[in-house]
Structure 1
Amino acid sequence: MWVPTLLQKYNIEEMQQMGFKLTADDIYSVNHASMKDAVVIFGGGCTGEVISPDGLLITNHHCGYSSIQKHSSVEHDYLTDGFWAMNRGEELPNPGLTVKFLVRMDDVTARVLEGVTDSLTESEKQVRINENTAKIEKEATEGTDYTAVVKPLFYGNQYFVYVYEVYKDIRLVGAPPSAIGKFGGDTDNWMWPRHTGDFSVFRIYAGKDNKPAEYSPDNIPYKPKKFFPISMGGVKKGDFTMVFGYPGTTKEYLPSQGVKLIMAQSDPEKVAIRTKKLNILAADMKADRAVRIQYASKYARTSNSWKRWQGEVKGLKRLHAVEKKQEGEKAFTEWLDDSSSRKGKYDSVLTRFGELYAEFAPYQRADDYYSEVVKRGTDIFSLAQKFDRIRRLAEYHETGCLEGAIPEVKEELVSYFKDYHQPTDEKVFSALLAMYAHGLPGKWLPEELTKFTPEKLTKLYQKSVLTDEKALNEMLNDFDNRSVKKLEKDPVMQLYRALRNTYEVKVEPRYRELSDSIKANQKLYMAGLLEMNEGKRMMADANFTLRVAYGKVEGYNPRDGVHYNYYTTLKGIMEKDNPEVYDYDVPDRLKELYQQKDFGSYTNGKGQVTVAFCASNHTTGGNSGSPVVDAEGNLVGVNFDRAWEGTMSDIMFDPDECRNIMLDIRYALFIIDKFAGAGYLLDEMELVN
Structure 2
Amino acid sequence: MHLKTTLLGTALALAVAPAAQADEGMWMPSQLPEIGPQLRAAGYQGDPAGLADLTRAPLNAVVKVGGATGAFVSGEGLVLTNHHVAFGVIQYNSNPQRDLIQDGYVAADRSQELPANPDFRLRVTTGFEKVTGKVLAAARGKTGRAYYDAVDAAGKALVAECEREAGMRCSVANMFYGSDFYLVKQLELRDVRLVYAPPRAIGNYGDEVDNFMWPRHSGDFTVLRAYVGPDGKPADYARDNKPYVPPAHLQVASQGVKEGDFVMLAGYPGITYRHRTAAEFADQVQWRLPASVAVMRQLQGVIEDAGKADRQAAIRYASQLQSLKNGIKRYSGELDGLRRSDAAAVRRKDEAAMLDWLGTQPDAAVLRPQIDAAAQRIAEGSATRERDLLFALMRSQTQLMRSALTLQRRAHEHAKPDAERETGYQQRDEDLIAGMLRQAQRRYDPAVEKRLLSALLGRYQQLPEAQRVAEFDAAFGRTPAALSAALDRIYAGTRLGEEAQRLRWLDAAPADLAKTDDALLRLAAQLQPALLRIEAQQKAREGDLLRLRPAYMQALVAYRRQQGRAVYPDANATLRVSYGKVTPLKARDAVNYAPLTSTAGIVEKDTGTEPFDAPKPLLDAIAKGDYAGYLDPASGTMPVNFLSNLDTTGGNSGSPVLNAKGELVGLNFDSNWEAVSASWMFDPRYKRAIHVDMRYMRWLMDKVYPAPRLLRELGVPAE
TM over 0.5: yes
AA of the residue aligned to 1:188: D
Instruction: Find the counterpart in structure 1 of residue 422 from structure 2.
Output: none
Distance, in Å, in 1 between the alignment partners of 2:72 and 2:170 is 22
Instruction: Find the counterpart in structure 2 of residue 526 from structure 1.
Output: 553
Residues 634-673 of structure 1 aligned to structure 2 (within 5 Å): 634-673=663-702
The one of 223, 234, 248 equivalent to 1:201 is 223
Instruction: Say whether the 8 Å CA contact 1:249–1:621 is kept in structure 2.
Output: yes
Answer yes or no: is 1:5 the counterpart of 2:30.
yes
Instruction: Say whether the 8 Å CA contact 1:4–1:548 is kept in structure 2.
Output: yes
Residues 13-52 of structure 1 aligned to structure 2 (within 5 Å): 13-29=37-53, 33-43=56-66, 45-52=67-74
Residues 314-333 of structure 1 aligned to structure 2 (within 5 Å): 314-333=336-355
* Secondary structure of residue in 2 paired with 1:21: coil
Structure 1 residue 115 displacement after superposition: 5.6
Residues 265-302 of structure 1 show CA distances to partners (whole Å, capped at 9, x for unaligned) of 11211111111111121222234322221210110122
Distance, in Å, in 1 between the alignment partners of 2:575 and 2:238 is 30
Distance, in Å, in 2 between the alignment partners of 1:677 and 1:474 is 43
AA of the residue aligned to 1:355: Q
Structure 1 residue 357 displacement after superposition: 3.6
* Secondary structure of residue in 2 paired with 1:524: helix
Gaps of 5+ in 1: none
The one of 264, 274, 285 equivalent to 1:263 is 285
Instruction: Say whether the 8 Å CA contact 1:265–1:365 is kept in structure 2.
Output: no
Identity of aligned residues (%): 30
Answer yes or no: is 1:343 the counterpart of 2:343.
no
Residues 356-408 of structure 1 show CA distances to partners (whole Å, capped at 9, x for unaligned) of 34332122222112212x22344453244256458879999x9xx9xx99999
Structure 1 residue 471 displacement after superposition: 8.0
Distance, in Å, in 2 between the alignment partners of 1:599 and 1:65 is 28
Distance, in Å, in 1 between the alignment partners of 2:144 and 2:334 is 32
Distance, in Å, in 2 between the alignment partners of 1:368 and 1:123 is 22
* Secondary structure of residue in 2 paired with 1:231: coil
Distance, in Å, in 2 between the alignment partners of 1:365 and 1:632 is 49
Instruction: Say whether the 8 Å CA contact 1:363–1:511 is kept in structure 2.
Output: no
Instruction: Find the counterpart in structure 1 of residue 487 from structure 2.
Output: 461
The one of 547, 551, 569 equivalent to 2:598 is 569
Structure 1 residue 8 displacement after superposition: 0.7
Instruction: Find the counterpart in structure 1 of residue 330 from structure 2.
Output: 308
Structure 1 residue 639 displacement after superposition: 0.8
Instruction: Find the counterpart in structure 2 of residue 297 from structure 1.
Output: 319
Distance, in Å, in 1 between the alignment partners of 2:409 and 2:122 is 29
Structure 1 residue 634 displacement after superposition: 0.9
Instruction: Say whether the 8 Å CA contact 2:144–2:539 is kept in structure 1.
Output: no
Instruction: Say whether the 8 Å CA contact 1:437–1:445 is kept in structure 2.
Output: no
Answer yes or no: is 1:61 the counterpart of 2:83.
yes
AA of the residue aligned to 2:253: S
Residues 506-559 of structure 1 show CA distances to partners (whole Å, capped at 9, x for unaligned) of x44444433433443322211222344568651111111111011221132333
Instruction: Say whether the 8 Å CA contact 1:80–1:179 is kept in structure 2.
Output: yes
The one of 81, 91, 105 equivalent to 2:128 is 105
Distance, in Å, in 1 between the alignment partners of 2:674 and 2:287 is 20
Instruction: Find the counterpart in structure 1 of residue 421 from structure 2.
Output: none
AA of the residue aligned to 2:385: Q
AA of the residue aligned to 1:20: Y
Answer yes or no: is 1:590 the counterpart of 2:579.
no
Structure 1 residue 188 displacement after superposition: 2.3
Answer yes or no: is 1:602 the counterpart of 2:630.
yes
Distance, in Å, in 2 between the alignment partners of 1:224 and 1:86 is 23
* Secondary structure of residue in 2 paired with 1:172: strand
- TM (norm. structure 2) is 0.85
Instruction: Find the counterpart in structure 2 of residue 385 from structure 1.
Output: 405
Structure 1 residue 328 displacement after superposition: 2.2
AA of the residue aligned to 1:463: R
Instruction: Find the counterpart in structure 1 of residue 4 from structure 2.
Output: none
Answer yes or no: is 1:278 the counterpart of 2:306.
no
Instruction: Say whether the 8 Å CA contact 1:169–1:215 is kept in structure 2.
Output: yes
Worse-matched range after superposition: 380-389 or 299-308: 380-389
Gaps of 5+ in 2: 1-25, 419-424
* Secondary structure of residue in 1 paired with 2:177: helix
Instruction: Find the counterpart in structure 2 of residue 552 from structure 1.
Output: 581
Instruction: Say whether the 8 Å CA contact 1:91–1:171 is kept in structure 2.
Output: yes
1:133 and 1:612, CA in 2 relative to 1: closer, same or farther beyond 3 A?
same
Structure 1 residue 192 displacement after superposition: 2.2
1:153 and 1:306, CA in 2 relative to 1: closer, same or farther beyond 3 A?
same
- TM (norm. structure 1) is 0.88
Residues 365-404 of structure 1 aligned to structure 2 (within 5 Å): 365-372=386-393, 374-386=394-406, 388=408
1:296 and 1:598, CA in 2 relative to 1: closer, same or farther beyond 3 A?
same
Distance, in Å, in 2 between the alignment partners of 1:184 and 1:678 is 24
* Secondary structure of residue in 1 paired with 2:384: helix
Structure 1 residue 626 displacement after superposition: 0.7
1:437 and 1:20, CA in 2 relative to 1: closer, same or farther beyond 3 A?
same
Distance, in Å, in 2 between the alignment partners of 1:405 and 1:128 is 21
AA of the residue aligned to 2:652: N
Distance, in Å, in 2 between the alignment partners of 1:386 and 1:231 is 45
Answer yes or no: is 1:616 the counterpart of 2:645.
yes
Distance, in Å, in 1 between the alignment partners of 2:255 and 2:429 is 53
AA of the residue aligned to 1:437: Q
Structure 1 residue 36 displacement after superposition: 1.5
Answer yes or no: is 1:231 the counterpart of 2:256.
no
Instruction: Say whether the 8 Å CA contact 2:582–2:645 is kept in structure 1.
Output: yes
Worse-matched range after superposition: 554-563 or 445-454: 445-454
AA of the residue aligned to 1:41: K
* Secondary structure of residue in 1 paired with 2:33: helix
Worse-matched range after superposition: 492-501 or 556-565: 492-501
Instruction: Say whether the 8 Å CA contact 1:230–1:687 is kept in structure 2.
Output: yes
1:168 and 1:314, CA in 2 relative to 1: closer, same or farther beyond 3 A?
same
Residues 69-88 of structure 1 aligned to structure 2 (within 5 Å): 69-88=91-110
Worse-matched range after superposition: 239-248 or 98-107: 98-107
Residues 335-367 of structure 1 show CA distances to partners (whole Å, capped at 9, x for unaligned) of 22223x312111234443543343321222221
Distance, in Å, in 1 between the alignment partners of 2:291 and 2:192 is 39
* Secondary structure of residue in 2 paired with 1:62: coil
Distance, in Å, in 1 between the alignment partners of 2:196 and 2:461 is 46
Answer yes or no: is 1:630 the counterpart of 2:650.
no
Distance, in Å, in 1 between the alignment partners of 2:164 and 2:442 is 42
Worse-matched range after superposition: 458-467 or 409-418: 409-418
1:416 and 1:104, CA in 2 relative to 1: closer, same or farther beyond 3 A?
closer
Structure 1 residue 253 displacement after superposition: 0.8
Structure 1 residue 91 displacement after superposition: 1.6
* Secondary structure of residue in 2 paired with 1:97: coil
Structure 1 residue 439 displacement after superposition: 3.5
The one of 705, 708, 711 equivalent to 1:676 is 705
1:315 and 1:23, CA in 2 relative to 1: closer, same or farther beyond 3 A?
same
Structure 1 residue 135 displacement after superposition: 5.0
Distance, in Å, in 1 between the alignment partners of 2:364 and 2:441 is 60
Structure 1 residue 444 displacement after superposition: 1.2
Structure 1 residue 116 displacement after superposition: 5.1
1:439 and 1:564, CA in 2 relative to 1: closer, same or farther beyond 3 A?
farther
Residues 12-45 of structure 1 show CA distances to partners (whole Å, capped at 9, x for unaligned) of 2112111111111443436x732112111113x1
The one of 433, 449, 453 equivalent to 1:425 is 449
Instruction: Say whether the 8 Å CA contact 1:321–1:652 is kept in structure 2.
Output: yes
Worse-matched range after superposition: 257-266 or 412-421: 412-421
Instruction: Say whether the 8 Å CA contact 2:437–2:502 is kept in structure 1.
Output: no
Residues 621-661 of structure 1 show CA distances to partners (whole Å, capped at 9, x for unaligned) of 22111110011111111111222221211111122112111
1:353 and 1:201, CA in 2 relative to 1: closer, same or farther beyond 3 A?
same
AA of the residue aligned to 2:40: Q
Distance, in Å, in 1 between the alignment partners of 2:712 and 2:306 is 44
Worse-matched range after superposition: 95-104 or 613-622: 95-104
AA of the residue aligned to 1:382: R
* Secondary structure of residue in 1 paired with 2:701: helix
Instruction: Find the counterpart in structure 2 of residue 364 from structure 1.
Output: 385
1:475 and 1:509, CA in 2 relative to 1: closer, same or farther beyond 3 A?
closer
Distance, in Å, in 1 between the alignment partners of 2:678 and 2:448 is 35
Instruction: Say whether the 8 Å CA contact 2:670–2:689 is kept in structure 1.
Output: yes
